[in-house]
Structure 1
Amino acid sequence: MVPADPPRPPGSGRSSPEAAGTRRLAGDAAGVAEAARLLCAGGIVAFPTETVYGLGARAADGRAVARVFEAKGRPAFNPLIVHVASAAEAEALAEAGPEARALMAAFWPGPLALVLPVRPGAAVAPLVLAGLPTVALRMPDHPLARALLEAAGPLAAPSANPSGRVSPTEAGHVLAGLGGRIDAVLDGGPCPVGVESTIVMPDAEGGARLLRAGGLPAEAIEAALGAALRVETDPARVVAPGQTASHYAPRGRLRLEAMEAGPGEVLVGFGPVRGEMSLSPSGDLREAAANLFAVLHRLDAAGVERIAVAPVPETGLGRAINDRLRRAAAPRG
């Protein structure tokens, strides 16, 4: 619990105690500096964009990203949008073709997210990607968001609300929904756009697909590209936030709730169940969530055909971990 602060004048940079310990940081240089400090220490902080408030964690910090899913009560690990301070920062994380660069030049900063192939070795935690070979990127058009990104680096950030609830457009909305679950909210006042960003995926063969309608009209994007957007209609194909849940599965077959490896299996442990690798030797659900996709990728890279996974508690982040594991273990056509 943060002790009570005395009343603060506007713009003082002081935080006010609200919602069981979640700090409300003033929208000034001191507030941005404190938000960046919290993020760099592994914290999670809500911040304003022109669309809605996002709940940010440093994109390279898997454990912090796991805290974001935990705080939101997000039932499955869906891909997250990574917010960047510049197009150059985006291209350090992803491979951008001519269409992507044209859209960045036309609409960044702004309410447009682009889904692009992630660069090998990019500083993005696997949990952000949800096992996909792509990353969603956007440069927000809000001075506080831009200042925070300059100070803390790329931030993975879904909307700062409990999963399934209305997206927040004011700091008070964030505190009402997530107070006590997150470290702080940087108060930038009301969001001017008020709906989530439009998400587009440029195609390798030219053109682009509309994955989610949002704050940037599709007509403006089509005018910039000189071509109509194709609309993604396959519910089994999920490459961006806001689509039906469907997630990466390894090539190997999974057996869940395993206490030991069977013939020909590699055991992935958790807590006291030891295996050749482990989601978390200490039984830490945040660590397990952060490690989940990386472990599955390692199993794929090793060509493992049969995988046994130790039981994970069906509580907190364990629900999301088990949701992901059950989908990965489901029968395939």
Structure 2
Amino acid sequence: MDRIDSPRTRLLPATSEGVAEAARLLRGGGLVAFPTETVYGLGARAADGHAVARIFEAKGRPSFNPLIVHVADPGEAEALAETGPEARALMEAFWPGPLALVLPLRAGAPVADLVTAGLPTVALRAPAHPLAQALIAAAGPLAAPSANPSGRVSPTAPSHVLAGLGGRIEAVLDGGPCPVGVESTIVAPDGADGMRLLRAGGLPAETIEAVLGRPLIADTDPARIVAPGQMESHYAPRGRLRLGAMAAEPGEILLGFGAVAGDLSLSPSGDLREAAANLFAALHRLDAEGAERIAVAPVPDHGLGRAINDRLRRAAAPRP
């Protein structure tokens, strides 16, 4: 199928035909905003790295945070992540609903590296809105942050989405106003200690604690960044990075971009979407190959390039 590249935002009706068209757009690499019970999400197929890169581009997101993957049910979650007894108990109690779980990513799971921001975990939730459920059933798991420009108020109606993202995305599936109106609560297993609260949201902590039979652990460590709504988490390879390199020095591996070919390239054609989609996979590959010194070609500092450079600067920052 031809990939979608020129958005013209359409408002799709809350009908089977509207859902089918939204799914078709998603399968072609498009972005579709859809209603959940919390806020409108900006969806791309979770396995499609290029489409996920377009999410960051459309939102003007300054850096690559992890995204929540919206799934149909616990069975679909089990295909993507490793679950334990407490996670399964919370799924059974609160899914579909406004609860996201950050769980270890299953080996070989069809989730783009950009969704997890290079982390070994993935945030999952099953939304309760019937249109969201129908869309996921038709298109598969969807990576979806809130459907608004980065830093702006989260959208709870189609008009909010169109005001912020009109012309940047393919369509909005019109489900009317969202009933909850605040983002999902996010929790994560913390070994034998129980569950850690990563973000307060639409499901009260006390309700979760009643099912667990013990308190949630407050997350106060700024270094523990594994989910949306927290400070940046940055993946740094073991090798040292030198940025803005036009050529490799002795002992370096060159990570290229555009005309700077390199030993490995983020995008030989200089496509920022391709570079964003390839960024974490490239860093992981260099780690696996034991690269100790990595030279990185210049990446234009506009559009998605700002997010790529933000992540590279963090990866290259001095370490203790």
CA drift of 1:77 comes to 0.1
The aligned residue for residue 216 of structure 1 is 203
Q: Classify the secondary structure of the residue corresponding to 1:106.
A: helix
**Contact 1:134/1:239 (8 A) holds in 2:** yes
The aligned residue for residue 13 of structure 2 is 26
In the alignment, which of 22, 36, 46 is matched to residue 35 of structure 1? 22
Is 1:241 the equivalent of 2:228? yes
In the alignment, which of 291, 303, 307 is matched to residue 290 of structure 2? 303
Distance across 1 between alignment mates of 2:239 and 2:170? 39
Q: Classify the secondary structure of the residue corresponding to 1:114.
A: strand
The aligned residue for residue 122 of structure 1 is 109
Is 1:278 the equivalent of 2:242? no
CA drift of 1:118 comes to 0.1
CA drift of 1:263 comes to 1.1
In the alignment, which of 205, 218, 238 is matched to residue 231 of structure 1? 218
**Contact 1:99/1:206 (8 A) holds in 2:** no
CA drift of 1:96 comes to 0.2
1:87-140 CA distance string (max 9 Å, x none): 000000000000100000000000000000000110000000001100000000
Q: Provide structure 2 residue ranges, at least 5 long, that are not aligned to the other structure.
A: 1-6
In the alignment, which of 152, 156, 159 is matched to residue 172 of structure 1? 159
1:272-313 CA distance string (max 9 Å, x none): 001111000000000000000000000111111110000000
1:209-261 CA distance string (max 9 Å, x none): 00000000000000000010001111122100000113111111000000011
The aligned residue for residue 61 of structure 1 is 48
Q: Classify the secondary structure of the residue corresponding to 2:100.
A: strand
Distance across 2 between alignment mates of 1:326 and 1:32? 40
The aligned residue for residue 201 of structure 1 is 188
Is 1:105 the equivalent of 2:89? no
CA drift of 1:200 comes to 0.2
Distance across 2 between alignment mates of 1:252 and 1:226? 44
Which amino acid in 1 is paired with 2:300? P
The aligned residue for residue 306 of structure 2 is 319
Q: Classify the secondary structure of the residue corresponding to 1:221.
A: helix
Which amino acid in 2 is paired with 1:326? R
Distance across 2 between alignment mates of 1:105 and 1:21? 39
Distance across 1 between alignment mates of 2:236 and 2:297? 17
The aligned residue for residue 126 of structure 2 is 139
Which amino acid in 2 is paired with 1:241? P
Which amino acid in 2 is paired with 1:318? G
CA drift of 1:203 comes to 2.1
**Contact 1:170/1:191 (8 A) holds in 2:** yes
CA drift of 1:206 comes to 4.8
Distance across 2 between alignment mates of 1:242 and 1:99? 23
In the alignment, which of 39, 42, 45 is matched to residue 32 of structure 2? 45
The aligned residue for residue 11 of structure 1 is none
**How many positions carry a matched residue from both structures?**
314
CA drift of 1:76 comes to 0.3
Distance across 1 between alignment mates of 2:250 and 2:195? 46
Give me the TM-score of the superposition, normalised by structure 1. Answer: 0.93
Which amino acid in 2 is paired with 1:62? G
CA drift of 1:204 comes to 2.5
Which amino acid in 2 is paired with 1:258? A
The aligned residue for residue 153 of structure 1 is 140
Which amino acid in 1 is paired with 2:93? A
Distance across 2 between alignment mates of 1:309 and 1:121? 27
